[in-house]
Structure 1
Amino acid sequence: MPLAYRTPDSRFANLPDYPLKPHYHMLREGLRVHYLDEGPRDGTPVLMMHGEPSWSYLYRHMIGPVVEAGYRVLAPDLIGFGKSDKLTKKAEYSYALHVAWMRDWLDAMDLSNIVLACQDWGSLVGLRLVADTPDRFAAVVLANGGLPAGEPAPEAFRKWRTFSKRSPVFPIGRILQQATVRELSKAEVAAYDAPFPTRASKAGARIFPSLVPLGANEAVPDQLKAWEVLEGFDKPFTCSFSDRDPITRGGDAKFRARVPGAKDNPLHRTLRGHHFIQEDDPEGFAAAVIETAKRAEV
């Protein structure tokens, strides 16, 4: 098994607005996945998937409202993030592995009728899960993300990818703040830094931008296959993109045009905020999730 780092529990003590019980699942490779599991066990499952370089803490203001509406919320930490184990070499990560790890976890959870809520890399992984097992999913809510398949990288993303490769420092909390309109407290910035106390623990966060299949990339064939499935996905598919994200702005158009469940969906909306809309407009994103889940039940 590759060498993995496990962030000490003490790093997560007394995080603001995160009094949530941890749950763990051991993957076949011996890597431990952390996830949150809140709400009634017989409720429709809502799968909230985070992106780069955040973790399930990102959804702390959305989980309560969705649970109060009667749903079961599950929010995993991707391998390399949050309370999940972290491989310490960038070369040990791949897009395919991230999908496989989350697919193994999802199979172990034995969920069905899932409503996916995703953003950033949460969509790159989450939408691949939908494409792999479309019968498991009842609906999708997509915010500030996508499923790139070899398109040219936007200038803002090229700069971000270069920074992630070359910057001598990689301040996770400050990166979150720079892509958020709302002023985060010092404690919130520290909460985003908490999973990453060492340089090696940031390997997964560092490599993620280079794994995005914008331009030539080994993942493009798998992306194209996933798009073929999404082009037949006629269940509710809601786009909730923000108005101030320079990287994903306008990215909803492709889904509205190509995904049947998005074409005639009246629930699309523009949320107010930057890239991490869970921080800037958690109420709006949560409302989109609840309304989409209800539409899926009709």
Structure 2
Amino acid sequence: MTDRILRTPDSQFERLLDYPFEPNYMDVGGPRMHYVDDGPTDGDPVLMLHGEPTWSYLYRHMIPVCSAAGHRVIAPDLIGFGKSDKPSRVSDYSYQVHMDWLGEFIERLDLKRITLVCQDWGSLLGLRYAAENPERFRAIVVGNGMLPTGDQTMPKAFQLWKAFALYSPVFPAGRIVDTGSFRKLSPDERRAYDAPFPSRHYKAGARAFPALVPATPNDPATEANRRAWKSLEKWEKPFLTTFSNGDPVTRGGDRYMQERIPGAKGQPHTTLKGGHFLQEDSPVPFARAVNDLIARLD
């Protein structure tokens, strides 16, 4: 682990649009992780995991819909993102260390009966953790996400994105989210996505993420993800896909998972309107799909 862990000043997050949530923090083995914990404390948890280059702000319009339905909504900022600490070198990040940070977080909160909601890198982490710890989960909802093993051909859009993240002289998070959404984000919303990164020194985690996706059969994460798929191929609990109609990176992943995961059979899979960041384009339909799934479990 790096000897230099950066912490974004709180002043960066003042007066954020539509983000009224109280901050919570947990040490996860060195860096400090921030998370939203909204709704009744005795409710079954809905764990919302964001991806690249976002943070829990991505779920700001979904959290109240799910918590109002009686669920305890927990939305962490992955290490390197949002209000969480940010190791300062790209080499400080690996798939496994992100798994370790997430596992420490879930285990210290002792979350059980979890409904996982995940997108982008939230899916790479959440699906693998659920596959390795199925006893903690009730159901899974995936929107624009996947668990790659490196055995599949990655789309050209992803290869371009990986090169941009690693080598572009600028990495404007707010503009990236705006480009990956159907609707036009407001200046305040773009500022919120830029807020975690007051300078280039804070962006190592965001730049590292695309290169950590298993893209070849001999990737360091390939074997663990293959094992996770063996577990998912026996997954009988409800598994719902809520992909968008306009994401060039994950298009087709919903059908792939529906065919391979037993718990996906008979579920009301839906296609929502939006780009890669469907939480920006269709947050309420996405949240209602989650609530409806949980209602069928009770």
TM class, shorter-chain normalised? over 0.9
Alignment coverage as a number of residue pairs: 295
Which aligned segments of 4 or more residues in structure 1 are displaced greater than 4 angstroms?
Answer: none
Deviation at 1:92, TM superposition (A): 0.9
The CA deviation at 1:294 is 1.6
Deviation at 1:264?
2.1
> SS of the residue aligned with 1:275?
coil
Corresponding residue for residue 138 of structure 2: 138
Aligned to 1:296: 297
Aligned partner letter, 1:171: P
**How far is 1:215 from its partner?**
2.2
Number of the residue aligned with 2:278: 277
TM-score, reference length from structure 1: 0.97
TM-score (norm 2): 0.97
Following superposition of structure 1 onto structure 2, how do residues 236-247 of structure 1 map, counting pairs within 5 Å?
Answer: 236-247=238-249
Query: Offset at 1:295?
Result: 2.3
> What pairs with 1:37-186 in structure 2 (closer than 5 Å)?
37-150=37-150, 151-186=152-187
| Aligned amino acid, residue 121 of structure 1 | W
> Any residues of structure 2 matched to 1:182-193 within 5 Å, and which?
182-193=183-194
Q: Tell me whether 85-94 or 288-297 shows the greater mean CA deviation.
A: 288-297
Letter in 1 for 2:286: F
For the 8 Å contact 1:153–1:215, the answer to whether it is kept is no
Write the distance in 2 (CA, Å) between the matches of 1:93 and 1:211: 8
Partners in 1 of 2:285 and 2:173 — Cα distance?
A: 25
Q: Deviations over 1:41-76 (max 9, x none)?
A: 111110000000000000000001101111110000
Residue 249 of structure 1: which of 251, 272, 278 is its match?
A: 251
Provide Cα deviations, 1:200-231, integer angstroms capped at 9, x if missing partner. Answer: 11000001000001224111101000001111
Consecutive unaligned residues in structure 2, runs of 5 or more: none
- Find the residue that maps to 2:61 and give its secondary structure: helix
What CA distance in whole angstroms lies between the structure 2 residues aligned with 1:44 and 1:154?
37
CA distance in 2 between partners of 1:193 and 1:69 (Å): 31
Name the % identity: 53
1:238 aligns to what SS in structure 2?
strand
1:231 maps to what in 2? 233
Look up the equivalent residue of 1:183 and give its one-letter code. Answer: K
